[in-house]
Amino acid sequence: MSRVIGIDLGTTNSCVAVVDNGQPVVIPNTGGYKTTPSMFALADDGKRLVGHLAKRQAITNASNTVYASKRLIGRRFESAEVRRASELCPYAITEGPNGDPRMLLGEKTFTCAEIAAIILREMKRVAQEYLGEAIREAVITVPAHFNDAQRQSTKDAGKIAGLEVLRIINEPTAAALAYGFGRKNAEETVLVYDLGGGTFDVSILEMGEGVLEVLATAGDTFLGGEDFDRLLVNHLIEQFEASEGIDLRAEPMALQRLKDAAEKAKCDLSGATQTEVNLPFIATGGDGPRHLSVIVTREILERLAADIVDRTMTTVGLCLSDAGLSPDQIDQVILVGGQSRMPLVQERVAEFFGKRPHKGVNPDEVVAIGAAIQAEALLDEDQNMLLLDVTPLSLGIGTYGGHSAKLIERNTTLPVRRAHVFTTTRDNQTAVKIRVLQGESDIAEENDLLGEFILSGIREARKGEPEVEVSFDIDTNGIVSVSARDLSTGREQSITVNATGTLSDDEIQRIIDENDLYEIQVKD
Amino acid sequence: MVLARQRDAAAARVPRIPEGADPTTLSLTPAEGYLLSRIDGRTSWRDLRQIGGVRPEDVDRCLERWLAEGVVELAAGTDSGQAAPRPTAGAEPPRSPAAGTERAESERIENRPPAAPPTAPLAPAPAAAQPASPALDPGLDLPLPLQEKLIDLSARLEAPYHEILGVPADADRKALKRAYFGLSREFHPDRYFRKQLGPFQTPLERVFRKIVEAYELLSDPTARAEIERSLAAASPQGEPVAAVPDSAAAGPEAAPARPRAPRRPHVFTLAERMRKERKQRAKRLFEAGMAAFAAERWLEAAGGVRLAIAFDPWNAVYKEQFADVQRKAHEESARKLMREAENALDLRDYPAALRAFEEALPYRPGDVALLRRAAQLAVQTGGDLHQAKEWALEAVELEPNDAEGHRLLGQVYQAAGLTANARRELELALQLDPGNVEVRAELRELSGGSSPLRWLGGKR
C-alpha cells in the first residue's frame, strides 16, 4: 500500500510530512528546505514556476507571480476580503463565471483551486522524490474557521493535483495531534494559538488516552503574518516618502522588494532588537537613483503590530468562553505558525495565561506532522490516536423575514446529523426554497450562503400544514450535505452544497487535463 | 459467535417479570425499585449488573431473591436485542426532553409551528425506524465482541444516558470524560475508516451519535439536572422541558420550531438557550405581525404581536405597539360583526342580528348608537330585556342629556313592566325635549291605557 502524506497548505509556506516507521518526519524539498513558499508564477517564456523558484523571480515578474492566494480561496469576488486583497496584490484579480475570484497571469486566468492544486502537486512531487514511490493520497489541513466553500475548494484542489483527499483537518487540531503524539497518557487541556501567514486560529482541546476532543475553536480568516509585513512595508514607504519625496506604492517591483525586505526584517527582529533595511536603487529621482536605507527596531515593529496582537488575544478570550474555561484551566499553550515566533506574541500569551507557552514543537512544521499523523491514525489500526473535532461555524437555513434558523451550533462534535421540520408560509404553496447558511448571525444576509435548492411538488394545502423535514449532515471533513423531504409525499431532494464560488466537476476535469500537460513523471 | 454465547450463557439470561405478577406489592428500597424498573424482558442479567446506580453484587442478590420469590423469571438465553422485540414507545424510559434530534418522529408535531394540526397521520418514522439487528458476521472488519456490543447498544439507545455511557448515575465530569473517550475509541467512525462494516455501518453511526449526545448532555449541569429530575419522576413519558407556549397561530413563519438539539454544553446553559430561543421566536412573530399590520391585515397583526408578547413578556416595544395593533384589530372585528348584523336584519333573523350586535359591543366601547340599536332590537323582538336595560342604561350614562336615550330606556322599562321607572325616564326625556310629541304620547299612554283619545284629550 502506498503511503499517505500530510500537507500543510499554508498562506505563505507549505509543508509536507509522512509517518515513516511510526515516526513522523518532515520532508525537505530539493533545495533542502522543509517548507516551500506557496507561490506560483508564469515566467515571460510561459514556463510555470512554483515554490522557491517562483519566489526568487517574484521581484522581476511581480504582476505574474501569485502569493497568498489562500486568502481568496472559496470566497466570492465581490466580498470585502477579495476587494481588500486586490488592493494589496501586485497581480490582477478578475471575476470568474461563477462569481469567484480568478488571477490573471499573462493571458490566462487561474482559479484559486487551480493555484492551490499547483502547490499541492509540488508538495506531492517533493514527497515522491524523497520517498521514491508514487503518492496518491493525502490529508490536507485548512484553517479551523474555513467555511464549507473554502473546504470544498481545497478538496477540489487536491483532486486537480491528482490526490485523493482522505480528510480535510483543521490546522490547530493537527498541531494538537502532533503535540499529543507520544503523550498518549497525559490528560491535559491544551490551547493552540495558530498565527500563520494569512490566518489566525485558536482551538482548545482536551486530551487523554490518545483521544483529542476539540472543545471550542475560534479564529479570523483575514489576519496573519502578511498583515505584519504590510504594516512594515507601509512604514518603510512612509519613511522613504518623508526623506526622498517619492511614493513607492505605484511601483510593483519596488513593492515586491519592500515586501521581501519587510518579511526578512520582521524575522530578524524576533532575534535581534534592531535591523537595517537596505534596498539600493529602489527608485529613480530627478537627479539619479535613490536608495532606501532604514533602521527598524523591534520597538517600532511592536508599536505597529500591537493592535493586531491585541486582536488575536480577544479571539483567544472568545474561544475560552465558548469552551467554558478560564485561562488558568489551560495546562499547555502551543504556539503554531511562523508569526508566533514574534517576541511580542509570546509575551502577550505568557501574560494572559500566566505561564510560558510550550517550546517543544516547530511552529512551521507541526501542522504538516499532525496531518501525517491523522492519515496514519485513519489507516493503521494499531495507531491509537483519535480526533473528535467540531464544526467551527453554525449552520442554518434562511426563514421567513430574512432570518437564519440555526440547526447546528458552532463547536458541535463531528460527524453530526440534525433534522428539523419546516412548513410553508402561503396557502397552496407547492415549492419551498431551502437556503443553506453558515455563520453566527441571526440575520440571514450576514451569513455565508452555502447554496440553495428548491423542493417542489409539495401537496397543496393551507399555509403551515405541509411538513418539510430538512436534514443537515456535516461529515468529519467539515463538509456539509443537506436533504429535504416532504413528509406527506415522501418526496426527497438532496444536495451536496455547492457554493456558487466553487468549481463544477466538468471544470475540475478540464483543469486536470490541462495541468497534465505540465506534469513531469516520476521515474520508477 | 457460538463460543461467545456459551461463555456468557449464564450472564446472558434475561430476567423478566412473569405475566400476572404484581411487583407493586413488594416492599423495596429505592435502589431495588430502580433495578426492578430496569427489568424489561430485554436486558440481560449481565447488562443489569453493568447498570450504574446499583452495585453488581446487589444486582445479583436482588435478582436471586426475586427469582426465589417468583417475582422474576428467567427467559431463555438470547443474544440481547436479537430476538427481543423493540419496546413500544410508551414503555420507553423517559427521554430527556432536551435531547434527541435523531428520533425526531415523536417530536415532529411539537417541533413544527403549531398552527397546523397535522393532517396526514405521521407515517411511522421511516428514517429512524430501528431495523432488525444485524447478525454477527466474522467476515467483517469488526471484532465479534464489538459486534455484540453494537447490537446490544443499538437495542438500548433509549436507555438513560448514564447507562449509555456505562457510568453510575452520579459519575463526575472526569468519569464521564473517561467513559466518553473510551467509547469513542471503540465506536467513532474514524476507527473503521475504509473498513468493511456491512450491516453494522448504520448502527455504528447511530450508537456513536447517541454517545456524543449522552456525553454532551450529562456534561451540561443544567441539562443534567433536567435529566435527573425526569429520571426521578420516572413517569413513562417525561414532560417536555421546553414549555414554550406553543399555540402560536398567527405566525406565518417558516419558523423552525425551536431547535431542541443538544449542543455544546459549554456555550450556553439550557435556560439561557431557551430564553434566547423564546426571544428570537418572539421577534419573528412580532415582525410577521408588523408586516401584516403594514398590509392592513389587522387581525393577523394582532395575533402575531399578542403571541410575541407571550413569548417575551418583558419587551416594552411589543407592548407599546400592541395598543395600536389591537385598536385596528378591534375596529376590523366590529366592522365584520356589524356587516353580519345588517345581513341578519335583512334576512329578518333577529336573534342572529342581536348576537352580532352583542359581540360587536366590546370592540366599540362607548358607541352610543350601537348600544341603542341593540337595546331597541331586543325590545322590539322580545329579546333579553335585562340585557337591553343594561345597554340602554349605559347609553344614557354616556349621553345623559339626550332625550332619545331616556326615551329608549323608558321603553325598555315599559316592556319589562316596570312602569314607574318607565314614567320617570319618559318624563326626563320630555324635560330635555319638551316638543317631542311622541314621548308625550307614550307618557300619556303609560298613565292611562292605550286609547288614542287620551292623546286627543291631552291636546285640549
* Closest chain A residue by Cα to residue B120: A488
* Closest chain A residue by Cα to residue B288: A401
- State whether A255 and A143 are in the same domain: no
Q: pLDDT of B354-398, one tens digit each?
A: 888 888 888 888 888 888 888 888 888 877 888 888 888 888 888
DSSP 3-state of A524: coil
pLDDT of amino acid B295: 82
| B185 touches A: beta carbon within 8 Å | yes
Least confident of A16-20, A211-215, B234-238: B234-238
For B143, the grid coordinates are 471484532
Please report which confidence band the pLDDT of residue A496 belongs to, taking 50, 70 and 90 as the band edges: low
Residue B404: CB atoms within 10 Å: 17
Of residues A93, A124, A146, A94, the one with CA closest to residue A27: A124
Q: Does the ipTM surpass 0.95?
A: no
How far is the C-alpha of B393 from the C-alpha of B387, rounded, in Å? 10
Final residue of a domain: which of A302, A324, A340?
A: A302
Contact: A400, B288; criterion CB under 8 Å: yes
Would you say domain B2-75 falls under CATH 1.10.10?
yes
Q: pLDDT of A174-197, one tens digit each?
A: 999 999 988 877 889 999 999 988
Contact: B257, A323; criterion CB under 8 Å: no
Whole-angstrom CA distances from B58 to B27, B35, B54, B93, B356 are 16, 10, 6, 22, 72
CATH number at residue A113: 3.30.420.40
Which A residues in the span 116-135 are in contact with B, Cβ-Cβ below 8 Å?
Answer: none
Q: pLDDT of B131-184, one tens digit each?
A: 456 777 777 888 888 888 888 888 888 888 888 999 998 889 889 999 999 999
- State whether A161 and A239 are in the same domain: no
pLDDT of amino acid B444: 82
| A419 touches B: beta carbon within 8 Å | yes
- State whether A129 and A30 are in the same domain: yes
- Structural domain contains residue A514: no
* Closest chain B residue by Cα to residue A386: B185
Q: How far, in whole angstroms, is CA A234 from its chain's centroid?
A: 25
User: How many folded domains does chain A comprise?
Assistant: 3
Tell me the residue ranges of DSSP E strands in A29-118.
36-37, 39-42, 48-50, 65-67, 92-95, 101-105, 108-111
Dihedrals φ, ψ of B246, to 5°? -105, 20
How far is the C-alpha of B448 from the C-alpha of B423, rounded, in Å? 12
Q: pLDDT of A470-495, one tens digit each?
A: 888 888 888 888 888 888 777 777 66
- In this model, does residue B111 exceed pLDDT 60? no
* Closest chain B residue by Cα to residue A463: B252
- In this model, does residue B26 exceed pLDDT 90? no
Residue A38: CB atoms within 10 Å: 31
Please report which confidence band the pLDDT of residue B73 belongs to, taking 50, 70 and 90 as the band edges: confident
DSSP 3-state of B215: helix
Would you say domain B141-237+263-267 falls under CATH 1.10.287.110?
yes
- State whether A72 and A174 are in the same domain: yes
- Structural domain contains residue A378: yes
Vertex A205 angle, CA A203 and A206, to 5°: 170
Contact: B189, A415; criterion CB under 8 Å: yes
Closest CB from A206, A323, A415 relative to B177: A206
For B372, the grid coordinates are 341603542
- In this model, does residue B274 exceed pLDDT 80? no
Closest CB from A401, A415, A419 relative to B284: A401
Preceding amide of B15 cis, omega within 30: no
How far is the C-alpha of A85 from the C-alpha of A81, rounded, in Å? 6
Q: Which CATH number fits domain B366-458: 3.40.50.20, 1.10.260.40, 3.30.499.10, 1.25.40.10?
A: 1.25.40.10
* Closest chain B residue by Cα to residue A403: B284
CATH number at residue A460: 2.60.34.10
Closest CB from A377, A412, A417 relative to B263: A412
Question: Between these two residues, B133 and B422, which has the higher pLDDT value?
Answer: B422
Mean residue pLDDT across chain B = 71
- In this model, does residue A120 exceed pLDDT 80? yes
Can you state the angle between helices B350-360 and B316-346, rounded to 10 degrees? 160
Of residues A451, A475, A398, A472, the one with CA closest to residue A149: A451
Vertex B191 angle, CA B187 and B197, to 5°: 75
Contact: B263, A215; criterion CB under 8 Å: no
- In this model, does residue B309 exceed pLDDT 80? no
pLDDT of amino acid B247: 36
- Structural domain contains residue A426: yes
For B244, the grid coordinates are 414554550
| B254 touches A: beta carbon within 8 Å | yes
DSSP 3-state of B165: helix
Mean residue pLDDT across chain A = 87
Domain ranges of chain B: 2-75, 141-237+263-267, 270-326, 366-458
Q: For chains A and B, what is the number of CB pairs under 8 angstroms?
A: 155
How far is the C-alpha of A375 from the C-alpha of B54, rounded, in Å? 42
Please report which confidence band the pLDDT of residue B93 belongs to, taking 50, 70 and 90 as the band edges: very low
- State whether A48 and A124 are in the same domain: yes
Q: Are strands A288-297 and A211-220 parallel, antiparallel or unpaired?
A: unpaired
Maximum CA extent, chain B: 126
Q: Give the list of residues 6+ apart from residue A347 with CB closer than 8 angstroms, or none.
A: none
- State whether A462 and A491 are in the same domain: yes
pLDDT of amino acid A518: 55
Distance between A317 CA and the closest CA of chain B, angstroms: 13
Q: pLDDT of A427-455, one tens digit each?
A: 888 888 888 888 888 888 888 888 777 77
Q: Find which of B102, B109, B112 to mutate to test the A interface (most A CBs within 10 Å of its CB).
A: B112
pLDDT of amino acid B3: 47
| A390 touches B: beta carbon within 8 Å | yes
How far is the C-alpha of B191 from the C-alpha of B205, rounded, in Å? 11
Please report which confidence band the pLDDT of residue B345 belongs to, taking 50, 70 and 90 as the band edges: confident
Question: Between these two residues, B237 and B221, which has the higher pLDDT value?
Answer: B221
Q: pLDDT of A40-81, one tens digit each?
A: 999 888 888 999 988 888 877 888 999 888 989 988 888 888
| A136 touches B: beta carbon within 8 Å | no
Q: pLDDT of A391-402, one tens digit each?
A: 888 888 888 778
Tell me the mean pLDDT in the region A275-300: 89
Of residues B322, B345, B342, the one with CA closest to residue B334: B342
- State whether A249 and A152 are in the same domain: no
Question: Between these two residues, B11 and B217, which has the higher pLDDT value?
Answer: B217
How far is the C-alpha of A128 from the C-alpha of B217, rounded, in Å? 47
How far is the C-alpha of A71 from the C-alpha of A222, rounded, in Å? 7
- State whether A430 and A477 are in the same domain: yes
Least confident of A98-107, A405-414, A494-503, B96-105: B96-105
Dihedrals φ, ψ of B170, to 5°? -105, 25
- State whether A421 and A450 are in the same domain: yes
Q: CB–CB of A393/A410 below 8 Å? A: yes
Of residues A474, A475, A480, A428, the one with CA closest to residue A453: A480
pLDDT of amino acid B148: 85
A-chain CB neighbours of B193 within 8 Å are 166, 378-379
Tell me the mean pLDDT in the region B50-76: 75
- In this model, does residue A521 exceed pLDDT 50? no
Tell me the residue ranges of DSSP E strands in A155-287.
164-170, 188-195, 200-208, 211-220, 274-285
Closest CB from B216, B254, B288 relative to A422: B254
* Closest chain B residue by Cα to residue A472: B101
The full length of chain A comes to: 524
Least confident of A241-255, A501-515, B202-216, B328-342: A501-515
Distance between A109 CA and the closest CA of chain B, angstroms: 38
| B122 touches A: beta carbon within 8 Å | yes
For A130, the grid coordinates are 524523497
Q: CB–CB of B110/B257 below 8 Å? A: yes
Dihedrals φ, ψ of A167, to 5°? -165, 140
Which B residues in the span 378-417 are in contact with A, Cβ-Cβ below 8 Å?
Answer: none
B-chain CB neighbours of A323 within 8 Å are 266
- State whether A66 and A20 are in the same domain: yes
- In this model, does residue B455 exceed pLDDT 50? no
> For the residues of A203-234, what is the DSSP string, one character each?
EEEEEETTEEEEEEEEEETT-SHHHHHHHHHH
pLDDT > 70 in chain A, percent: 95
Domain interval for residue A48: 4-183+361-385
